[in-house]
Amino acid sequence: MRNLWPTAVLAPALLMALPLSAAAGPQQDHKPPTKPTNLQVTAVGPYSVSLAWNPSTDNVGVVRYVVCCSASGKSQDIPAPASAGVFTAGVEPNRVQTVRIYAVDAANNWSQPSNFVSATTPADTLPPTTPLVSVTGVGPTHVALLWSATDNGPNIWYHVWMNGTQVLTTSQNTSQIFPLLDPESTYTFAVQARDFANNVSPVSEPVEATTPAPNPNDVTPPTTPTLGTGYVSGCEVQLVWTESTDDFDPQFAIEYEIYLNGVHVDSTALRFTNRVVYANQNGVNTFAVAAVDSAGNRSLLSNEFSETFEGCEF
């Protein structure tokens, strides 16, 4: 017959045999790093402050330093074991930047902050480089462009002209498809860059693109869109419709013609399938949409949506 030890006797014996760490569970690190000292500014630019400091120590190890904060309130991590770094988060020209740093260990214990340092960033007087522009695609009703410029700051905005008319303004895009063009037509594009400090580049060299003739084999219209509404407010309606497909054209090349009381009043492309349209008469206004491909094949009109408006001014 076996001897069975009572649980009350066995459990204390096992606990005494286990190492203390195993019995108590894993130990957590609650000790923060020492604070960084002797923080100094070593260089200043319109969008940057270079810093150096005496590194912190920690019982396990420092994993990062946090620089806080720019005049716009942003902070930035600099990985350890660095004892110098360039702070750029939210740094802007002509502003006083007062910062300090913290050391953080793997357990996310934060040190006490270092001393504060201040620096005034200089003005940015350097414009972006002249944009380089290239044509990346051409269809009967569209031209695709790609452009780029460089600058000493973090952001560049672009203005694009087509045949002397501005067709894109203050955009950070560096590529764009320009739709709703005429087949067998030549278009001239130019681009200018603007930086954060409103310095503007020279206008790019003009780039020409000629749209080809429509595909003679394309005789089938796109599928007919189905019309709905997003909202009706005051004297305006947000029209929303389903996206059409075509046997030859990609969906971005399909044009959507918007009809108000039987008259074509607006168009969209590039897969935009909603538009805010204003009533043009008091009383009943009727809206509909048709899809048109690059060969000029037009779908049937969508279902109609009607709404009554009163008190509108035209």
Q: Hey, what domains does the chain have and what are their CATH numbers?
A: 37-120 (2.60.40.10), 132-210 (2.60.40.10), 227-309 (2.60.40.10)
- CA dist 218 → 140, 214, 252, 297 (Å): 12, 8, 17, 8
Alpha carbon distance 256, 274 (integer Å): 10
Structure confidence by residue, pLDDT tens digits, 118-146: 999 999 999 999 999 999 999 999 999 99
A 10 A CB-CB count for 41 gives: 15
Band of pLDDT at residue 10, cut at 50, 70 and 90:
very low
Band of pLDDT at residue 168, cut at 50, 70 and 90:
very high
Instruction: Tell me if the bond preceding 69 is cis, omega within 30° of 0.
Output: yes
pLDDT of residue 6: 40
Residue 301 tokens read as 């009109």
More confident residue, 261 or 17: 261
Band of pLDDT at residue 314, cut at 50, 70 and 90:
confident
From 219, 210, 163, select the one nearest 184 (Cα to Cα): 210
Give the β-pairing of 76-79 and 37-45.
unpaired
Find out whether 184 and 192 touch, Cβ atoms under 8 Å: no
Kindly report the pTM of this predicted structure. Answer: 0.81
- CA dist 268 → 177, 187, 257, 278, 290 (Å): 13, 19, 7, 16, 11
Give the β-pairing of 142-148 and 132-139.
antiparallel
pLDDT of residue 72: 87
pLDDT of residue 129: 98
Alpha carbon distance 68, 90 (integer Å): 11
**Coil, strand or helix: which one is 224?**
coil
pLDDT at 2 over 90: no
Of the chain, the end-to-end C-alpha distance in Å amounts to 105
Give the full edge-to-edge strand order of the sheet including 37-45. 37-45, 48-54, 84-87
Give the β-pairing of 84-87 and 76-79.
unpaired
Provide the mean pLDDT of the chain.
Answer: 92
pLDDT of residue 4: 38
Structure confidence by residue, pLDDT tens digits, 169-215: 999 999 999 999 999 999 999 999 999 999 999 999 999 999 999 99
Band of pLDDT at residue 239, cut at 50, 70 and 90:
very high
- Mark out the alpha helices in the chain (DSSP H runs): 7-17, 20-24
Which of 18-22, 70-74, 202-206 has maximum average pLDDT? 202-206
pLDDT of residue 172: 97
From 33, 36, 50, select the one nearest 84 (Cα to Cα): 50
Structure confidence by residue, pLDDT tens digits, 251-294: 999 999 999 999 999 999 999 999 999 999 999 999 999 999 99
Structure confidence by residue, pLDDT tens digits, 40-63: 999 999 999 999 999 999 999 999
